[in-house]
Every structure is written in C-alpha cells, then in structure tokens.
Structure 1
C-alpha cells in the first residue's frame, strides 16, 4: 500500500515537472531576424496573445529587444502561434466535379473554396486542379474521392498543415518545400500514408482493388508508411503497396519517352505523335491537355504501341504527356511536348484524271475548292515520299496544266490548302504514268528489188510525232549509212540504190522521244533485167511447143 502511494506521488511529481518544463521541449518555429525587427513587433504579428512578448524575450535570452542583430534565429513555441483554418482554392475544373459539405452534394465551381471535412468527388473523364494555402498544387483525376482531414494555416509564418485521404482514384501534386514543424502535406490512402516534403509525386488507388496503391516520385522524396513500416521513395522511384502484403522496396521507374520528329506546329488534323519505345514497357499512358500547366485534360488512353493519332479536337495549343507502364503497373517518368494545331484548311480532294499519258501530251490537274483557303500548294514528284521533287507551285486556283507534258516515268502529286496561318496537311497523293509512244512500224517490203526501180517505204503514224527520220545502211549496225533523211509524211521513195543487201529503219521525232527506231527491214537490191534474157527464154519455150 505504501509503495502504491509512493508510485502515485512520483507520478504526480513527473506530471508537474512536465508541465513546468520550458516551452523548448515542444518543437519551435524558427524565425530569422531582419533589419528593424523587434520582439514586441514580431509577437503582435505572429502570437495569439501578443502580450506574451516578454516570455518570448526570456525564452530566447534576449536582453535588449530593440537591438536585435539581423540574422539571429528566434524560437517561437508552436502553441503560442496564431493559427486558423486554411482554404483550398479551385483553379481549374474539367468535366463533372462535385463537393460534399455537411452531407449536401453540390457542383463545384471556380468560385468555391474547400475547407476541413469537405469531400471532393470527380466523375469519369473529369478532373480538378487545387491550390493550397502554401502554394502547393494538386490535380485530382477522374473517378476520384478526396477527403480534407486537416487544413490549418499558422498565421503569417508560411506554415500550412494539409492532410487528406484519397479514398479512390488518383492525384498528382507539386508540393512547395515545407519549412517549420507545423508544415505538412500528407495523403492517406486505403493501404498507406504518403508524407511529402517538397516534391512532385503521383498517388493512385487501383480501381479494381482499393487495397492496392501506387506511389511514384518525379522529383524530391516521399515517405510511404504501411502499418509500422516506412520507406523513403526518392526521385525516379515508385512503390506499390497492398494492405495484405509487407512493404516492398522502392523500384526504379521507367525512363521518360522521347518524342520522334515532334513538331511545334501541326497543320490541322490528323496529328500523329510517335516516341521511342522503352524496354520493359508493357503499355503507355497517354494524356492530352488543353493548357500548358496540364490541368485541363482533353483526352487520355492506355496504348500498347509507341504511337498515337490525336482525336479530332479543336484547333489551338495543346500539351501531351506520355508515361511507360511496367509489369507491376507503376507508371514511369513523364515525356511531355507542347504544340499548336494551326487553324488551317483541311486537305482538298484530288480529281484524278487519266492514269496514263504519252510524253508531250498536255496533263491537267484539278482538285476540290476549300472555302477557307486563300491559296493551294501543288507538288509533283517522282516518288511517293516527295523527296525527288519535280516542281512545286503556290496557286490561287484549283487547276494546274502542264501544256508541254512530261518525260516518261511514274509521277505523284498532291495539294495542300492554305490561308494566313499556313498550309494544312497535304492530300493523299495520286499517281500516274507517262509513257513513250510506240516506235513506227514499217510495212513489210519485198525481199528483193531491181536497182533501176525506186524503193518505197511506208510506216505507221506515231502520236505526238513532229517528223520522222529514215535511214538506209549497208550494215545492220547502221555504221555505213547510204541514204537518210527526215520527212513529215509516213512514206519515202528512194532511187538509185546500189546492188547489195540493204537495211532500213525509221524513227519518230517528238517531245521526249528521239532516235527510237523501228524494227529493221531488209531488202536485196539486184541487177535489173535487159530484155534479152526474156526473149531467149520465150524462144526456148516456143521451140518446145513446136516439137
């Protein structure tokens, strides 16, 4: 019994000693003195009871209040400081967002501020951007629910205590560096608590199992606590927690995607973005935002490939963000790009003419008119990629004619419509062929002919031909030309040819069509008959008949 009384007495003494301890046992707020500061002035600014300035002077062993040297650090007990409920501002709303206050659910507007015990709810394809009293920012994603547990501002000290519960969905934040013992930024989830002190982070509750939570850190450090265990997740690392599993070690996040040939300005739709594939990426998480701060989400998707074609959004400035997703579901570092989709006309439709032309034949190109276009860029190339460009012109009409035609080959052409903002995307290229006309076909001639007769050579007419060149040679290689000439007709008569084997060919002259000769014709020029031979043969025949 006596020992019990002694224990109670000792406990009473301990409690009195604790109550009588100097305020320095509790954490203090530290203030660096500036020129002109006084204990009296600082107490009126920061203390709930300004008349306690003398206690602050004693607490800091200050003798002369008005002779505080700049740079000296003063200690203020936290319980002496002014504090008040802090408010959270709404800076951007996308889609349908609500808040619940005292059991009443209302649509959220930019004019609302959020306070202690408020519940914030976002629906599908919706998000809301928040600004806390210390300048920290948080973006609450779709299908999310956030409860504000503590929102306290410590007067003008700059310390803000922000604690909240993410019941479902996702949030990402940029937290200002926390200074002082009263400053906190804490997000509690169904499986873990994330304490942030100046960083960029993401936290996401699994939509299929709320006991699974993903924490990813882009910058700084986040302390993640699961039950009694605690892990420090540093920049470039993430951690996956589950209520039924022990706390795992942080895992390195996949690197940020690097965009390939990304442009600052795209001439209308469609816009296709490509990035380098990342080893270890199971999928890619893609987001399209309407603002540079990436708070107004316009489109999102989980992609299996490293390429995406944007939806038909309105023309203007956009930001995209891509993250690689690993096998554990952790999302990697952000790859971002800012660009403009210009208000330019869409692609015209080409009116395809003939698929084949002859060299020198006029070629006409025509396309549909765009009401918002002031000019058109017409291109002609020898390849589908338009690397081997033949010609390019800026026109104000929807028609282009090449009166002189083109050399033989395969060609591709397209058209882009433009205005004062630039040219839109080129149309799908159309192609056509330009061919040489057939060579002349020489009419077959006799195998032989007397040298005293004129040789008549006939050939077929060739399209686009301006004249024809004919040649007669004593050798098949036409190295020993006997006769040659040009004519606009499709025949020629040649006399006084030598008695020997001769070779004949004809070529048509015309646009892009020179020296393509016909097949070679052969003829044997023989000695002419003199009449005697014919009389002798006739006499022999008459003699035979008379027998």
Structure 2
C-alpha cells in the first residue's frame, strides 16, 4: 500500500499544558483536587467510563490522583458535537452540501460541518471560516474540500478538524489551546498536514503535487522512510509516491508600499522592485469600494501587473513564487483609482505658448456637452491655484494679470467632479505682438504615461469628410503639424503601449475644429 507523506508539528511542551500522544486520545494533566470522577463529570459523555478510564491508566484509587501526572483519555469518550463554522468574510460565491444538494453560504451565518459534506468556492472568490476553537480557515477561488471530520469538545473548547482538498488553496491560522491542543488536518492527494497551533498554507495544483508553506511553528514531513523538518519561513513540495522535497527558504514578499495613493491611469500601473531569485508573482486584486469583489486573480510573469480598472478603491495582494512553486508571505497594499473621465487632447494654447494679451482660448477634445476644469497657478506646485470651469461654447478666459503661468485641465464627469488632470503646461501672457508665438500649423498634445519606453499613437478620423485617417506616432505625446487641420468633426483615438505588455486604449473622443 502506498504511504502518504505526513506533516507533524514539533511543538514545545509547556508546563501544565495537556499534550496529545496521538489523534485518538487526550493526555490530561492532573490539577490539585482532581479525581477521576470530577474529570469524568466535566469532560466525559458519561461517568460510566470511569472504571475503564481507571483500568486504562492503571490508577489504584480513582479519588487519589497526583497533581502533574497524566491521565490518558480516549477522545471518543469525551463530550462532543459536530463542529460549526461561521462565515466571517465571503467575496464571490461558496457552497456547502453533500455534493448533490449544495447550499449557498451567506456572510455572517454559521453552518454545521458534517462529515462527507463538500465545501466549494467559485471563480474570483474568497471564503473565510471561523471555527468554534477560534481557528481561521481562508479558502481561495475554485476550491473543493470534503469534510472528513469536524468535532468540537465543548468542555475544553478544542476542535478536531480534518479536510480533504481536491483542488485549490487554503490558509490556516490554528489557534493554540492551553487545555487541549486543537487538531487541524489538511489532506491532499499527495500529502497530509497535521498541526496543533500554527500558521501554514497548503496549495494543490493537481492530484500529484502539493506545496506546504509554514509561517509559524514547525512541521515534519515524512514519506517513503524519509523525514524533512520544515520550520517557520520554510516550505516543501510533496509529489505522490516520492520523498518530501527538501526544506526550502520561502522568498520574501514583494515591496508594494510605493503603490499606495491614487492611480490616475487605466490600466493601472502596478510595478514593484523585483525579488531576487523570483520570476513569478501570484497577484489577487480586490475591489473594496463601492462593492467588494475580486477583479483579478492571476500570476504575473514579471514584477508588474497592468489591470484595467474602473474608478474605485482596491487592495492588491501579491506573493513571490519560486521555480518549484513555493510561495512566500502575502504582501498587501490599498490604493485608489481615479482615471476617468480622461483628460482631453489639447490643441490650443500650444505648450509653452507666448500670448500677446491676457486673453486665452482653450481648444480641446470633447463633444458639445463636455465641460472642463482649468487649474492655473504661478508655480508648478499649484500652491494657490485658480479654478475655472468652462464648456466648448464658452472656452475663452481673460487672465487676471500677465507673466508666467502654469496650467492643467481636467474633464468633468456627470456630477461635475473633475477626472485626473493633464500634465502641466506653461504659457507667457501679455508679451506683446512681437514676442508672441505665431504657429502656422497645428499642435496636438495628449497626456503622457509614467512608463519607461512608452510609445504613443494618436489617430484622427474626419467624420464629415471622406478623408484618410491621420495617424501620428512617437515616444512623446506631442505632435507639431506643419499645416492646420481642416475644420470639422474628428474622432480621436489615443493608444499607449510599452515593450513589456502595457496597453492603454483611452475612450474614443471627439475633436471639433472651426
């Protein structure tokens, strides 16, 4: 018969704490004043077990017990009931049932964990279960578990839980019980992980391989006559029928701190420093506001992720993964996205324009109903900005005074709130006729992206004339045309790409020229 690898915890024996010799009995440490009868009344299903308990432990007098001695109690004699679990967090979908009839789980509800029942999660889902002993089980997406055992011992507050994983991942935080150690077992097609009070993770890719990663405590992996001790911060890969993989140091989590704040672009630009020796990063992206859901769950082949996101609040979860599939601790970073509506294409005034007077006319992309917010200041930090809202029909502004000005423009949404602002432009006002800029052609300026080696493509298609589309490319989003564009309506398409796979296609826009 093929033996399965077994992972057993190596936990320190603490004074006055009960220890379990195996999964079938509890080793109770006698306290002052204890008798077999008092122990039975408190912990056993019936005091009728006292004679058998006395015989099993070779105790001469059931009324006289030595403090500090150990009484071995079979767990099947103890008070117990079917364990329960409370759903403390649920994103997506999850169900519990006998396989033929599944009940959809609801956040906040408690459910009995009956032997033989199946727990399953849907795609882009996350399920967190709080067991009666205080242990927390977090189950990832597309997982399927069978409950082998779920027993709660109310007199001690301990649990004995055994879950069989067919597929998926599970993070376990097993609470420590000073009276009776909690027994938490995860079985996969290739390994069994049994712990009492530790933090660990098990991931099953298929029925021939599983990975165990330990965050706290220590476990021992045994199979085929070979043992491998796995300590905190280490992991092991077990394949069916083979000895356990060598204990391997887990990689550090990626540094995500620089991603905090607001992303003004979509796809979002999520980049982090590479981790030495790591080439893959499992990433999960949760939307937290306005509604909670998982929007991305994938493995990035490099130290970046470029998800297309709507405005909202998000949380990025990322791990480092070694070539053998072992993953380190998870890193988490909250951030917000404020990418829409996108800034308009700017035609006038041209960047660094010199105006002969204080009057400025703003020509930007947008249909007849578009509105904009202009931000002006004397300094590039916009420490004391002047704000001015305008529309295409009312696009002229008289500056309060001449000199050097910095300005940015944003498009207003339906609630008259600005989207992200454009890059900073400059102009010089009231310079006089001879020092003013005089452009014969047309200047087109779009928003640059903070990406290395970015390429920009602007495509203008005249809608009311059968003219070929004008396509402009460059490594900066600014184009100077020798001739003026013909008056009319143009469809504006703006695209940004990078060699490492970033692709942004901003929403098509309208440019009206007269």
> In the TM superposition, what is the alpha-carbon distance from 1:228 to its structure 2 partner?
4.0
Answer yes or no: is 1:240 the counterpart of 2:234.
Answer: no
**Which of 78, 102, 108 is matched with 2:104 structurally?**
108
Conserved in 2, the CA contact under 8 Å of 1:93 and 1:296? no
- State whether structure 2 residue 327 is matched by structure 1 residue 321: no
Contact 1:195 1:224 (C-alpha < 8 Å) held by counterparts = no
Aligned counterpart, 1:165: 164
Q: Secondary structure at the match of 2:214?
A: strand
1:332 paired to 2:324: no
Equivalent of 2:349 in 354, 368, 377: 354
1:284 partnered with 2:272: no
1:397 aligns with 2:389: yes
Distance in 2, Cα, partners of 1:226 & 1:381? 73
In the TM superposition, what is the alpha-carbon distance from 1:163 to its structure 2 partner?
1.1
Distance in structure 1 (CA, Å) of the matches to 2:132 and 2:250: 31
How far did 1:357 drift? Answer: 3.1
Distance 2:248 2:372 in 1: 55
Within the alignment, does 1:154 sit opposite 2:149 as a pair? no
Q: Secondary structure at the match of 2:254?
A: coil
> Could you say if the C-alpha distance between residues 357 and 247 of structure 1 is closer, same or farther in structure 2, counting changes exceeding 3 Å?
same
Aligned counterpart in structure 2 of residue 307 of structure 1, from 284, 287, 304:
304
What SS does structure 2 have at the residue aligned with 1:397? strand
Residue equivalent to 2:122: 123
| 1:52-131 alignment, distance < 5 Å | 59=59, 75=71, 77-79=73-75, 80-101=77-98, 103-110=99-106, 111=109, 112-131=111-130
**Equivalent residues in 2 for 1:86-485, closer than 5 Å:** 86-101=83-98, 103-110=99-106, 111=109, 112-177=111-176, 183-207=182-206, 210-263=207-260, 271-290=268-287, 297-313=294-310, 315-316=312-313, 318-339=314-335, 346=341, 349=344, 352-355=347-350, 356-358=353-355, 360-364=357-361, 378-380=375-377, 388-389=380-381, 392-395=384-387, 397-398=389-390, 401-407=398-404, 413-415=408-410, 426-429=420-423, 431=425, 434=428, 462=434
CA deviations 1:60-85 (Å, max 9, x no partner) are: 967579xx9xx867736235422333
> In the alignment, is the contact (CA less than 8 A) between 1:204 and 1:213 conserved in 2?
yes
Secondary structure in structure 2 of the residue aligned to 1:104: coil
* Distance in 2 separating the partners of 1:124 and 1:170: 13
Greater length-normalized contact order (CA 8 Å, ≥ 6 residues apart): 2
- Match for residue 30 of structure 1 among 6, 24, 28: 28
Structure-2 separation of matches of 1:137 and 1:184: 13
Q: CA deviation at 1:105?
A: 3.1
Query: Would the aligned equivalents of 2:358 and 2:429 in 1 still touch at CA under 8 Å?
Result: no
**Is the partner of 1:261 in helix, strand or coil?**
helix
Aligned pairs (5 A) from 1:513-528: none
Contact 1:236 1:253 in 2 (8 A): yes
Shift of 1:162: 0.9
TM-score of the aligned structures, taking structure 1 as reference length: 0.60
Pick closer, same or farther for the CA change 1:123–1:61 going to 2, 3 Å. same
Structure 1 residue 255, shift from structure 2 partner: 0.7
Taking structure 1 as reference, are residues 245 and 412 closer, same or farther at Cα in structure 2, changes over 3 Å only? Answer: farther
- What is the deviation of 1:244? 4.8
* 8 Å Cα contact 1:286/1:321 also seen in 2: yes
Superposed CA offset, 1:95-132 (max 9, x none): 3433341x523242224433111122233323322222
Distance in 1, Cα, partners of 2:230 & 2:414:
52
Q: 1:41 to 1:424 in 2, by over 3 A?
A: farther
Aligned residue in 1 for 2:440: none
Report the equivalent of 1:524: none
Closer, same or farther in 2 for the Cα pair 1:27/1:40, shift >3 Å? closer
2-structure distance, mates of 1:123, 1:378: 47
User: Retained in 2: the 8 A contact 1:375–1:395?
Assistant: no
Deviation at 1:282, TM superposition (A): 0.9
Q: Calculate the aligned-residue CA RMSD, in Å.
A: 4.6
Unpaired runs of 5+ residues, structure 2, are 1-20, 437-514
Given that residues 95 and 121 in structure 2 are in contact (C-alpha distance below 8 angstroms), is that contact kept between their aligned partners in structure 1?
Answer: yes
The Cα of 1:299 is off from its aligned counterpart by 2.3
Distance 1:115 1:396, change over 3 A: farther
Structure 1 residues 322, 425: CA separation in 2 closer, same or farther (over 3 Å shift)? farther
Secondary structure at 2:320's aligned position in 1?
Answer: strand
Give the secondary-structure state (helix, strand or coil) at the position aligned to 2:389: coil
Unaligned stretches of 5+ residues in structure 1? 1-23, 383-387, 439-460, 465-547
Q: 1:115 to 1:401 in 2, by over 3 A?
A: farther
Q: Deviations over 1:112-166 (max 9, x none)?
A: 4331111222333233222223222222222222111121223321221111211
